[in-house]
Structure 1
Amino acid sequence: MDLKVLRYFIEIVETGGFGKASEKVHLTQPTLSKAVRQLEDELALILLERGKRGTQIKLTQAGEVVYRHGKELLAGRQRMLSELTALRSLNGGELKLGLAPLGSAEIFAPIIAKYRQLYPQIDMQLLVRGGVEQTHAIQKGDIELATGIIKAGDGFEGIRVFNDPMVVVLPKENPLSKRELLTIADLLDDPQVMFETEYTLYQLVLDACQVAGFTPKNITRVSQADFGIALVAAGTGVMILPSSIARRYSVNGVVSVPLASDDLRWELTLFWRKEQVLSFAAQAMISLVEKHLSNQKTMGLQ
């Protein structure tokens, strides 16, 4: 059913005849009459009782039904267009953003603050979970954008927002703490403090150890970097961390030694499903991240 013809029909009813309606919609009376006839043929019902020229038209019962529902359809169309306009202008809509718990707050806090300042009417929902859960959530469509460590070719597109080398955090009394550089193999005999299994960094470290020919022994799992470093200071074991995180949560009694590994790095990415049609709200976030990274590069902070 053509909404344009419905609008003509409603104008005829509300103006009381074809003459006034033709002036309002800028069409000739024969054209309007033809349009209504086509609508009646489509529905196989008579909608208007037509009197003599100059007399007011009258709705049939079927016409009253079409008039009532036609008004609702046109109002719904207008609401749809208004809502789409709000989305385009970022005066409405929502953004569901997943944040990896490790490092995302520090990196994204200023970006999110700027986003809220620019687009206060967008409903932003933040989901802070481990990388594995983030990936599942974005695959299911529960979130639109996420931060995490992903591999190329996993069905995602993204922007790398941070690339950090790894260090080994050790107690000062550990003999390895005197070294200037360590390899994964050097940790063969040391208990390790590692993140919980839902963190992507856990799997990355585990894979690196297995490539080096061993599986970490006596693993103590944590969900917070600062608690992990506190355990290292207490002598529980050693911990592999991004250098920036190790610096941020460093305490007395621990030493961070660079890890010699080109493959094991903390590469935080803002990502989304490949070929996904992103909302205007998500596109605005991506643009803001790109601008932030460009400014950081200009200032020499990356």
Structure 2
Amino acid sequence: MELRPLRALVEVIRQGGFSQAAKIIHATQPTISKAVRQLEDELGTPLLDRHAQPIRLTEAGEIVYRRALRMLAERDDLYAELDDLKGLKRGVLRLGLPPLGSSSLFAPMFARFRSRYPDIEISLVEHGSRRLEEMVMAGEIELAASLKPLPDNVEWQAVAREPLVALLPADHPQAQAESTRLADLRDSPFILFETGFALNRIIHDACQRAGFAPVIAARSGQIDFIVALVAAGLGVAFLPRLTVREAVHAGVSRVPLQDAGTDWEMALVWRRGGYLSHAAQAWLALTREVYPNAG
């Protein structure tokens, strides 16, 4: 079985269709469609429900898709290990970072890494933490920054631990408080990040422990826009302390959150049992050097 048709199947599902998958793979739509058809013929069963919108996997397709992810990841591990064996100095660090917190934690590291390893290219992708974890498991990236708690199929290295701060409109009853709890904010609409940001789960779980489900007023992936929505009085939002220092707005009060279990804990993750290239190991070593007291 060739890996190319498996890659085609994986991208069709990830991208939600043949034309979108073709753009990612840099092939024509008929080429992608033909590759998936040949795979179905080889296996003797349909893998896709082409009448569904968006297109989805059949029961057999689910099995093949899961196996394909592992096979493609093993292929990438093979190439990386062979490159290291050859002593190549022009490696590639495939790194995933979320928008939240990365500018403060990781941006200063890039210049230092570049000065030490000038011939290592950094291939950077940005998504929410949960999407990055999926990319790690699929072998698309070696390392990703994500938030604890983490799934069992990854290994991890701590980076930072920060308390959360509530962002409140200036006229909110809790705006002048020294600290606040989620229970004190239950009557206020919440402004959360887009789906895929792990911070949402921390907030939802803490609200559940406090005995209520928050009313969601809006979602966004942009910190500046979220802060502006708070200033406009749309609701309350939450950010880790290190990010709040940059989120300054005259119409927003910043009040520490007291609830237990709401700390924002960033870690670098990689696939459990997967191969880490020299470039990835060098990034982990630099992170330990920069953040020696993480955890």
Report the TM-score when normalising by structure 2: 0.68
Amino acid in structure 2 at the alignment position of 1:86: G
* Pairwise CA distance, 1:266: 0.8
Q: Is the 8 A contact 2:160 2:291 kept in 1?
A: no
Distance in 2 (CA, whole Å) between partners of 1:192 and 1:174 is 13
Distance in 1 (CA, whole Å) between partners of 2:117 and 2:95 is 15
Distance in 2 (CA, whole Å) between partners of 1:266 and 1:248 is 16
Once the two structures are superposed, the pairs formed by residues 126-165 of structure 1 within 5 Å of their partners are 126-152=124-150, 154-165=152-163
Amino acid in structure 2 at the alignment position of 1:111: M
Match 1:173 to one of 166, 171, 174: 171
* Pairwise CA distance, 1:257: 1.0
Per-residue CA deviation, residues 248-279 of structure 1 (Å, 9 max, x unaligned), is 11210111111112201111111112222211
Distance in 1 (CA, whole Å) between partners of 2:289 and 2:281 is 12
Match 2:98 to one of 90, 97, 100: 100
Report the counterpart of residue 186 of structure 1 in structure 2: 184
Change (3 A) 1:171 1:145: same
Amino acid in structure 2 at the alignment position of 1:124: I
Report the counterpart of residue 35 of structure 2 in structure 1: none
* Pairwise CA distance, 1:151: 1.7
Report the counterpart of residue 198 of structure 1 in structure 2: 196
2:288 aligned with 1:290, yes or no? yes
* Partner-residue secondary structure (3-state), 2:155: strand
Change (3 A) 1:194 1:118: same
Report the counterpart of residue 60 of structure 2 in structure 1: none
Match 1:252 to one of 250, 257, 268: 250
Q: Alignment RMSD, CA only?
A: 2.1
* Unaligned residue ranges in structure 2 (runs of 5+): 1-80
* Partner-residue secondary structure (3-state), 2:175: helix
* Pairwise CA distance, 1:114: 1.2
Q: Is the 8 A contact 1:83 1:92 kept in 2?
A: no
User: Percent of aligned positions with the same letter in both sequences?
Assistant: 40
**Range 119-128 or range 95-104, more displaced:** 119-128
Once the two structures are superposed, the pairs formed by residues 78-117 of structure 1 within 5 Å of their partners are 84-87=85-88, 91-117=89-115
* Pairwise CA distance, 1:150: 2.9
Q: Is the 8 A contact 1:134 1:146 kept in 2?
A: yes
Greater RCO, CA 8 A, separation 6+: 2
Distance in 2 (CA, whole Å) between partners of 1:153 and 1:218 is 26
Report the counterpart of residue 54 of structure 2 in structure 1: none
Per-residue CA deviation, residues 101-126 of structure 1 (Å, 9 max, x unaligned), is 10112211121211122112122200
Number of residue pairs matched? Answer: 215
Distance in 2 (CA, whole Å) between partners of 1:211 and 1:249 is 28
Q: Kindly name which structure, 1 or 2, has the bigger radius of gyration based on alpha carbons.
A: 1
Change (3 A) 1:266 1:142: same
Distance in 2 (CA, whole Å) between partners of 1:182 and 1:136 is 34
* Partner-residue secondary structure (3-state), 1:241: strand
Change (3 A) 1:193 1:178: same
Report the counterpart of residue 270 of structure 2 in structure 1: 272
* Pairwise CA distance, 1:237: 0.5
Q: Is the 8 A contact 1:98 1:147 kept in 2?
A: yes
Q: Is the 8 A contact 2:98 2:145 kept in 1?
A: yes
2:124 aligned with 1:123, yes or no? no
Amino acid in structure 1 at the alignment position of 2:87: A
* Unaligned residue ranges in structure 1 (runs of 5+): 1-79
Report the counterpart of residue 10 of structure 2 in structure 1: none
Report the TM-score when normalising by structure 1: 0.67
